[in-house]
Structure 1
Amino acid sequence: MSKSKLTIPCQWDINVIKKILTFTAKKDIEIVEMYGALSNGKLPQGREKSIAHHTTREEARKIKLFLESQKIQFAYLINTPINMQMYDELEEELEWIINVFKADSLTISSLELFRFIRKKYPTVRINVSTIAGIKTVADIEPYISLKPSKIIAHHDLNRNFVELTNVITFLKGKNIDFEIMLNESCLRRCPFREQHYDALGKGITDRSFHMKCNTIKIQKPYQLLMANFVRPEDLVMYENIGVKLFKITGRSKPIGWLEEVVFAYLNRQYNGNLFRLLGTDPILEVENKIYIANSALNGFLETYPKSGNISEEKNYCEQWINKLYLNKKFRVENLHVQSYLDKNNLRFLIEDSIY
């Protein structure tokens, strides 16, 4: 049986990379790819540049050469909606990414940009970003003729179990890799997702989106569990479905965080706070405010509703968050929040603004 494979974010720190690679000995999961983008590049990316880790083109190239020596590939991100009128910037940036930095692949969300690059660079490997929103077989079909190397699923697909199976079946024999994200913490069925990425594509700060979505999670605590995370202990469930390629998110998180999270997934176990694993906006410091014992969620995903019915998912997550609260496995700290139980249902009274 072939090993499962892990894709991890690049924080542009060679010492962190070297340390993480020491974790992989005798593990049944191997790190095969890093991904990222220069924060001082001219093209937009799926994270706000002000909180990204910085490096120069020269240092980035040194890191790329080291990764090549370790047989680890690099996927360069151009993964937000892009104004194709930025032609001069696009040409110059692509020339550096492909011919100087020598990225092994590009990760792109724009179908228009995908067509443009495929025509200009017919042999370059191109991945379909999660930001493209692939949730069904029908979503994949417009990309097939462009020969994508990899599909990175919309985070909701993690728990759309029927569609997940359909997508895996559809991709068999097509020479297209399929990857799911492990520690994404966005709202399930987020109504603000498209607006959020449009803002990033225009270079607008996305702080308000993070505040809005995390406030909803506190006001409706079941949403904390409806987020589409996959715990280290639950990898096997997806492997049994047919997923073999997994992605850790969080390239803007603090140095040191990535080591802890990669170690947890390689070892398939984590005994700390679930929110320490998740790739939430680092400025919010959510793991210092919300605690859910990761080990207390054993069995949660196995019995998660498979029908896709919103009410069933909500009721299920409400039952679990109540149980966690009563067993002192869930708490909220450092917030002006009063909690109480009402007919065995957890509720929160927000005294003032959370963020």
Structure 2
Amino acid sequence: MLDNSGMRYDMATNFDTAILDHIEKYDEKHQVASLFGKFKTDVIGGGRSSNTLPDITEKQLIDYNERCKKMGIHFNYLLNPMCLGNRDMLPVEHKKIIEFLKKLESYGIEWVTVNSPYLCEIIKKQFPKIHVTVGQYAVIQTIQQARQWVDLGADELTLSHNVNRDFDNLRNYLKVFKDTDIRMRVIANNGCLHDCPFSLNHAACVSHSSTPDGTATNCCIDYSIVNCYYRKLTKPTHLIASDWIRPEDVHYYKELCDETGNHNLVIKLVERSKPTAFLINLLDAFLHESYDGSLTELLNWLDERNSGSQTHIDASGYIEAVKNGELDLHSINYYIKTLQLPKIKIDNTKLNGFLEHFVHNYHCKEKICWLESYDPDERSDKYCYYCHDWAKKVITCEDQKEFDKWLKSVEKLKENMVSSRIFCLDKEKGSK
């Protein structure tokens, strides 16, 4: 809950105790409300591929949860795949799910995140002491969806990304759930494409790559993320149109809470696959509501400046698949190069005033984003050029040769994916 101490934050963790040390030392106003994370794999799965996550023991989880409690912070265990692959409907698998929930209860876990209505109801019926957060993959975009999740027993709702800048819509959520105990969350730094066409496919992909026996758990070829980065870097307006929240713009959300009289709004900070230096830097920026560097350093972005991100990727599955002739070596090399993004700077200091347009004049539902990097000869009323104009002012490519080299790799990878060469088919049509 927001009070005079400032906005509250739910923050990702990689289970490094240095994060807790940092919070104890520097979070003077106790703004961190909860930390969230999970095992590398479990029977239910989650919202990230297992090969990007740290491997922790039961003791580490129990100790981390206990220390969070002592600090007055909730620990939220993630049970948040978009799809359970019908395991919840198979008797043997259902029993495993119930047994795992009993384990979490025995560990002292008091909060979990789900995207399954059935799992939500199971938890509220069989484990009534556990609070339920509804995750991003539930795609809550309307008041009616939110109300129905509350009827299922949810205690906290993560709102869809496209609510972040729609202040009239967010205002309605706060008004409707005023005088209740329902908390709402918006995610600040996922950096997803606005109204992304890949989002549901991506969520399903990572969900099925997060269980011990999941499809491609150790060898996930992430088609969606390849296309996500390709679109953002070839048409940089996407980087501005993405529904992020800057540290400097947190005050707009605090003011909205004051206006409605509902302070049950929390900002969620990702990413749990990141190293500790990234997470601490991210938290500090939001605690101070200020950041002087590139906005990419705070987003779920892959470059060396956000502290060696994705250092936990396990490549053993890819290596084995190449050895077995199931994946093409050249394509996997392009895939690796694609995830080594060129240096792009979004000058955060030049973005002051950017959000005002959305606070007072949100029309993203009514117009098409002009995403091309060039200016049209004549501007049309059916397009919105706002993010395009800002992109020209704040985004720079710091090494054009590096960018051109990256672009060559990703285009070869995309060709090999759609021609199926990456899976050792149609080799004549693919790119080497």
Common fold by TM > 0.5 = yes
Deviations 1:311-348 (A, max 9, x none): 36741011111223xxxx5225322179xxxxxxxxxx
| Structure whose alpha-carbon radius of gyration is higher | 2
Residue 208 of structure 1 aligns with an amino acid whose one-letter code is Y
Q: 1:33 to 1:298 in 2, by over 3 A?
A: same
Q: CA deviation at 1:35?
A: 0.6
> Residue deviations 1:266-321, cap 9 Å, x none?
011000110000123644354x6221111111111112341233336741011111
Match in the other structure for 1:342: none
Greater Cα offset, 199-208 or 289-298: 199-208
Whose strand proportion is higher, 1 or 2?
1
Distance of 1:43 and 1:188 partners within structure 2: 29
User: 1:196 maps to which residue?
Assistant: 202
Structure 1 vs Structure 2 CA RMSD: 2.1
Q: 1:21: which partner in 2?
A: 24
Tell whether the 8 Å contact from 2:13 to 2:19 is kept in structure 1 after alignment: no
Q: Give the aligned length.
A: 336
Aligned to 1:318: 388
| Counterpart residue number, 2:255 | 240
- Secondary structure at 1:246's aligned position in 2? strand
Tell me the distance in 2 between the aligned counterparts of 1:93 and 1:14: 25
- The answer to whether the 8 A contact 1:114-1:126 is kept is yes
1:92 corresponds to which residue? 99
1:215 paired residue number:
230
**Unaligned ranges ≥5, structure 1:** 339-349
1:126 aligns with 132
Distance apart, 1:126 and its partner CA: 0.6
The percentage of counterpart residues that share the same residue type is: 24
Distance of 1:351 and 1:77 partners within structure 2: 37
- Is 1:330 the counterpart of 2:396 in the alignment? yes
* 1:289 pairs with 2:343: yes
- TM-score with structure 1 setting the length: 0.88
Secondary structure of the structure 1 residue equivalent to 2:267:
strand
Equivalent residue for 2:67?
66
Mark the CA change 1:280 to 1:352 in structure 2 (over 3 Å): closer, same or farther.
closer
1:45-60 aligned at under 5 Å gives the runs 45-60=46-61
In structure 1, the partner of 2:281 is 260
Is the alpha carbon distance of 1:125 and 1:352 closer, same or farther for their aligned partners in structure 2, counting shifts above 3 Å? closer
Residue 300 to residue 95, structure 1, CA distance change in 2 (3 Å): same
* 1:46–1:200 contact (8 Å) kept in structure 2: yes
CA distance 1:285–1:260, shift in 2 (3 Å)? farther
In structure 2, do the counterparts of structure 1 residues 206 and 164 end up closer, same or farther at CA, with 3 Å as the change threshold?
farther
Partner of 1:353: helix, strand, or coil? helix
**Does 2:166 correspond to 1:160?**
yes
SS at match of 1:6: strand
User: CA separation of 1:147/1:174 partners in 2, compared to 1, >3 Å: closer, same or farther?
Assistant: farther
